[in-house]
Amino acid sequence: MAESERFIKELMEEFENKGFMVNRRGFIEGISGIRHYFDIILEDPKSGRKIAFSLTDRIRYEHVLSILAMRIDSDTPHVIVANEVEPSIEELLRKYNVFTISFNRPKFSMLMSLPTKDIKQFTKMVTSEILRFLSTISGGSVT
Amino acid sequence: MKEKPLAINSFLEGEHVRGYYVEAVDKPGVLWSILDVFRKHEVNVLSINFSPTSKSERVGLLFIVADLKGAEGLEEKILKELRDTQDVLNVELEKPQYFGILADHLHFPLVDGNGRRCLLTSEKEYEYTLKLIRERLGSPGLALLYHEGRAIGSGYAKLFAELGIENLKDLITLFLIYIRGYGILKGELVECSFDQSARKGKIIVRAYRLWECEAAKKAGINEPSSHKTRGVLAGLIEDYVKARVHVREVKCIAKGDPYCEFLAEIG
């Protein structure tokens, strides 16, 4: 994840600017009472609404079951930032309201070569994309 | 009397064991006449499988497993005498086959007393599954077990509703009778309170020898492990009270407690 660290940092700053609290490494309890680990948990202090982030290297088919199981168990919207995601998996996960940011997609692959100013601009765009995703799932339950 | 394990399906090993399928008219005294053949030859009967026949069906099927050690030459004689027994319609002999295992091939599928199909699973199977789920899927896998259980519990609630259950206490009591019959656990309802109007309540269920936690313990897991059973309880109660139920396993044999105990909080 080293090459995407800068982007994550910018993204979290962007959410902080929008009033979210950022907690690194935390757990969210699911409907089952089981606690699920996330790398970053954002919380809107006004509404108490949370967004969970997982940072990973790649998402392959063998990971889908566990991602969807987590989705069934938790109402918290889930965003996964990965270096590599199979396009068909990305599509599948989106159907179940899991948002993925993958650096193998063209719009992200050029990210690392961007000057700082452009990265800020780019993270603003991703942030609004995530927020738009959140508004479409309104509550986020897929169960 | 003391409890003893019940061996189902007579998976018996040994070169001297023999199985006899006996089709006979279902009427008083027939079983006695059949078993008398074995008594006369001083052959020990190890197990008998048979199901109650339905009203329309007058013929029952028995699978009798006998130990013929020291009486090897008698297997054909016993077969003939069973065939000659009054009200016996047909008899077939079954010998141990692959790897010396004798199995009942004619009773299929397994059903409960109401004719609903049941499956037998071994503790070993679950032990492997649990290990795999933990290793490959982590916490989401355990959550899946819970949700699978929740769906099962909801199914039980619907089944018991058809039987005319009128209150939560009866629902849980009947549930505990059922799952004891299925060999899942020996349960005891310790506390049950439910305020219908406020949709709030508390239930405590104690479970002895819960198979899920026994298997977990054998797999080296030493934390509360009954995710599926928790889910079953949650689904059962949720479906009945129409409110969210939070079930926690507050005691567990996997972590060294003498029994498992579930605390269900409604609302």
Q: If contacts are CB pairs under 8 Å, which of residues 139-158 in chain B contact chain A?
A: 139-144, 146-147
Shortest Cα distance, chain B CAs vs residue A64, angstroms = 10
d(CA B64, CA B234): 41
Instruction: Give residue A99's domain range.
Output: 2-137
Same domain for B94 and B133? no
Same domain for B176 and B220? yes
Q: pLDDT band for position B131 (50/70/90)?
A: confident
Same domain for B135 and B216? yes
Shortest Cα distance, chain A CAs vs residue B138, angstroms = 8
In a domain, B109, yes or no: no
In a domain, A84, yes or no: yes
In a domain, A121, yes or no: yes
Same domain for B136 and B248? yes
Q: Looking at residue A33, which CATH number applies to its domain? A: 3.40.1350.10
Same domain for B22 and B151? no
In a domain, B167, yes or no: yes
Instruction: Give residue B56's domain range.
Output: 12-102
Q: Is the dihedral of CA A79, A82, A86, A87 positive or negative?
A: positive
Distances (CA, A) of B57 to B25, B31, B49, B52, B263: 9, 17, 17, 10, 45
Q: pLDDT band for position B130 (50/70/90)?
A: confident
Contacts of A62 in chain B (CB under 8 A): 136
pLDDT at A23: 93
Please, what is the average pLDDT of chain B?
92
Same domain for B85 and B54? yes
Tally of helices (H runs) and strands (E runs) in chain A: 5, 5
d(CA B216, CA B144): 16
B79-122 residue pLDDT tens: 999 999 999 999 999 999 888 888 888 989 988 878 889 888 88
Contact A70 B246 (CB under 8 A): no
What's the whole-number mean pLDDT along residues B125-141?
90
The model carries a pTM of 0.84
CB atoms within 10 A of CB B178: 15
Q: How many domains does chain B have?
A: 2
d(CA B91, CA B178): 34
Contact B138 A66 (CB under 8 A): yes
B182-223 residue pLDDT tens: 999 999 999 999 998 998 999 999 999 999 999 999 988 999
Same domain for B237 and B158? yes
In a domain, A68, yes or no: yes
Please, what is the average pLDDT of chain A?
83
CB atoms within 10 A of CB A51: 22
In a domain, A143, yes or no: no
Q: Looking at residue B31, which CATH number applies to its domain? A: 3.30.70.260
In a domain, A72, yes or no: yes
pLDDT at A33: 95
Same domain for B127 and B98? no
pLDDT at A105: 65
In a domain, B112, yes or no: no
d(CA B231, CA B247): 8
In a domain, B107, yes or no: no
In a domain, A56, yes or no: yes
Q: How many domains does chain A have?
A: 1
Same domain for B211 and B260? yes
Task: Check: CB of residue B188 under 8 Å from CB of residue B209.
Answer: no
Q: Which residues of chain A have pLDDT under 70?
A: 1-4, 105-117, 137-143
Contact A65 B142 (CB under 8 A): no
Shortest Cα distance, chain B CAs vs residue A120, angstroms = 34
In a domain, B197, yes or no: yes
In a domain, B40, yes or no: yes
Q: Looking at residue B187, which CATH number applies to its domain? A: 3.30.1380.20
In a domain, A142, yes or no: no
d(CA B213, CA B229): 9
In a domain, B38, yes or no: yes
Q: Is B206 on the interface with A (CB under 8 A)?
A: no
Same domain for B184 and B220? yes
Same domain for B96 and B130? no
Of the CA atoms within 13 Å of residue A126, those in its CB half-sphere come to 26
Q: Measuring CA to CA, which residue among B190, B191, B200 is closest to residue B246?
A: B200
DSSP code, position B161: H
